[in-house]
């Protein structure tokens, strides 16, 4: 297989799962692809600069909006095609899809990765016309990609219903970089140490977890449940106001979350969606950590309909409290779900499986 010269384009303005994916894909395909990157996020530049020989960060353009950013990316694409002979353009957003016809006209292969389901928010288009336009552009131009790679079957199903029939859609699940050695904690009686890792935004559901803890405390005052919240976001102040007499620690944003997983008894992802395939859930499961997850379609997918984790009704804090109570009263459940969570990762979400799939995808271009 020849070494492909790839231009990754990401004009997102916040560091999240997509940017972690870009960092990991450059590591995964090192030696098989020569990457260049165009971005507007300095944090992404910092995460890639040690591995990628050419990172162009147009940080000053972040305040000028997507049209200006897309124009700058287009100029960069033409320049790199002429001088560096790039042969593949790889995008990871909505509006970036507008660049793929140009890439094809220049003789490049074109790849798009979808990280979320293709949901359209209800309500009139003019309430969020920028997002409406970006998704409209995506739907109309998706056929120009040689491949639209979806990070889960859940994402692929939503894409097939939204995109033109001729769009080439394939599934390569997200992966974990390595599977760590499991450190089993001895659960103390009537004590449960929970961990939440994610952005503190409303749709991530951290408030549901606090509501469930209040329910537990009200029903059984002697029950001791602690929570470590790892992450930052616009909802942090309102979440802190909800804590009151709960045992909750806010650890802020942390680049390395392994220590928090090792110190916890249970990982909880109460997301309301949409989710494509949350990396943080895969990472928690790779640590052999018992998990309680909202029953989103993608959580059902990665846990084999609840075989590898407890699932609760999405948005229902009462059901979440019930699952917490159940796992606190039956320590055998912790052992079972801890073993199964890591087994599920070993089946489908390892680095070697992802590498084989991506190499095959690149070779077929």
pLDDT score at 123: 55
Let me know if residue 182 belongs to a domain. Answer: no
Let me know if residue 139 belongs to a domain. Answer: yes
Q: Is 287 exposed, middle or buried (0-12, 13-18, 19+ CB in 10 A)?
A: buried
Let me know if residue 32 belongs to a domain. Answer: yes
pTM comes to: 0.90
pLDDT score at 82: 95
Do 132 and 142 reside in the same domain of the chain?
yes
On whether the CB atoms of residues 220 and 288 are closer than 8 A, the answer is: no
What one-character DSSP code corresponds to residue 143? G
Let me know if residue 341 belongs to a domain. Answer: yes
The tens-digit pLDDT sequence of the chain (365 residues) is 789 999 999 998 787 888 899 999 999 999 999 999 999 999 999 999 888 988 999 988 878 888 999 999 999 999 999 999 999 999 988 889 999 999 999 999 999 999 988 765 545 656 677 778 888 888 899 999 999 999 999 999 999 988 888 889 999 999 999 998 876 666 555 578 999 999 999 999 999 999 999 999 988 877 789 999 999 999 999 999 999 889 999 999 998 899 999 999 999 999 998 899 999 999 999 999 999 999 999 999 999 999 999 999 999 999 999 999 998 888 889 899 999 999 999 999 999 999 999 999 999 99
Do 355 and 258 reside in the same domain of the chain?
no
Task: Quickly count helices (H) and strands (E) in the chain.
Answer: 14, 13
Do 286 and 227 reside in the same domain of the chain?
yes
Do 127 and 211 reside in the same domain of the chain?
no
Query: Per-residue b/e over 96-118, b at no fewer than 16 CB within 10 Å?
Result: bbbbbebbeeeebbbbbbbbbbb
Q: What are phi and psi of 85, to 5 degrees?
A: 55, 40
What one-character DSSP code corresponds to residue 83? H
Q: 224: which 2 tokens?
A: 């001791």
Q: Is 83 exposed, middle or buried (0-12, 13-18, 19+ CB in 10 A)?
A: exposed
Do 170 and 210 reside in the same domain of the chain?
no
pLDDT score at 344: 97
Q: What is the domain-level CATH number for residue 153?
A: 3.40.50.2000
Give the count of domains, the chain.
Answer: 2
Let me know if residue 184 belongs to a domain. Answer: no
pLDDT score at 358: 97
CA dihedral 291, 206, 130, 64 (to 10 degrees): -100
Do 18 and 143 reside in the same domain of the chain?
yes
Domain that holds residue 55: 4-175+350-363
Let me know if residue 94 belongs to a domain. Answer: yes
On whether the CB atoms of residues 287 and 342 are closer than 8 A, the answer is: yes
pLDDT score at 328: 87
Query: CA–CA separation, 123 vs 125, rounded Å?
Result: 6
Do 344 and 355 reside in the same domain of the chain?
no
On whether the CB atoms of residues 49 and 129 are closer than 8 A, the answer is: no
CB count, 10 Å around CB of 3?
A: 12
Q: 303 by DSSP, 3-state: which?
A: coil
Let me know if residue 233 belongs to a domain. Answer: yes
Do 328 and 357 reside in the same domain of the chain?
no
Do 163 and 246 reside in the same domain of the chain?
no
Let me know if residue 195 belongs to a domain. Answer: yes
Q: 71 by DSSP, 3-state: which?
A: helix
Do 26 and 151 reside in the same domain of the chain?
yes
On whether the CB atoms of residues 11 and 19 are closer than 8 A, the answer is: no
CA dihedral 293, 332, 194, 177 (to 10 degrees): -70
CA dihedral 151, 156, 158, 163 (to 10 degrees): 120
Do 359 and 338 reside in the same domain of the chain?
no
The alpha carbon of residue 228 and the mean position of all alpha carbons in its chain are separated, in whole angstroms, by: 20
Do 10 and 129 reside in the same domain of the chain?
yes
Q: 96 by DSSP, 3-state: which?
A: helix
**351-363 vs 17-28: helix crossing angle, rounded to 10:** 80
């Amino acid at each position: 297989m020849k070494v492909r010269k790839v231009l990754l384009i990401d004009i997102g303005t916040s560091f999240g799962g997509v940017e972690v994916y870009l960092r990991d894909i450059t590591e995964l395909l090192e030696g098989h692809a020569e990457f260049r990157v165009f971005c507007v996020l300095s944090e992404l530049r910092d995460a890639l600069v040690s591995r990628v020989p050419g990172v162009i960060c147009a940080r000053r353009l972040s305040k000028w909006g997507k049209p200006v950013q897309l124009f700058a990316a287009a100029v960069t694409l033409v320049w790199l095609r002429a001088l560096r002979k790039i042969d593949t353009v790889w995008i990871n957003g909505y509006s970036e899809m507008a660049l793929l016809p140009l890439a094809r006209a220049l003789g490049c292969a074109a790849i798009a990765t979808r990280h979320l389901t293709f949901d359209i928010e209800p309500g009139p288009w003019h309430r969020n016309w920028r997002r409406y336009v970006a998704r409209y552009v995506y739907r109309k131009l998706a056929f120009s990609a040689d491949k639209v790679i979806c990070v889960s079957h859940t994402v692929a199903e939503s894409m097939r219903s939204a995109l033109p029939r001729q769009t080439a859609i394939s599934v390569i699940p997200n992966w974990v970089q390595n599977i760590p050695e499991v450190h089993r904690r001895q659960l103390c009686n009537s004590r449960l140490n929970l961990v939440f890792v994610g952005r503190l935004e409303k749709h991530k559901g951290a408030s549901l977890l606090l509501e469930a803890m209040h329910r537990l405390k009200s029903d059984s005052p002697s029950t001791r449940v602690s929570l470590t919240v790892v992450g930052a976001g616009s909802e942090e102040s309102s979440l802190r106001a909800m804590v009151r007499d709960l045992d909750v620690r806010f650890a802020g944003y942390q680049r390395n979350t392994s220590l928090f997983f090792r110190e916890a008894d249970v990982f909880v992802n109460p997301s309301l969606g949409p989710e494509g395939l949350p990396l943080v859930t895969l990472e928690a499961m790779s640590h052999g950590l018992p998990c309680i997850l909202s029953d989103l379609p993608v959580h059902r997918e990665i846990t084999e309909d609840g075989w590898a984790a407890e699932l609760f009704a999405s948005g229902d804090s009462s059901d979440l409290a019930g699952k917490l109570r159940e796992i606190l009263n039956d320590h055998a459940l912790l052992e079972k779900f801890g073993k199964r969570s890591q087994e599920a990762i070993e089946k489908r979400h390892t680095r070697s499986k992802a590498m084989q799939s991506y190499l095959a995808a690149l070779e077929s271009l």
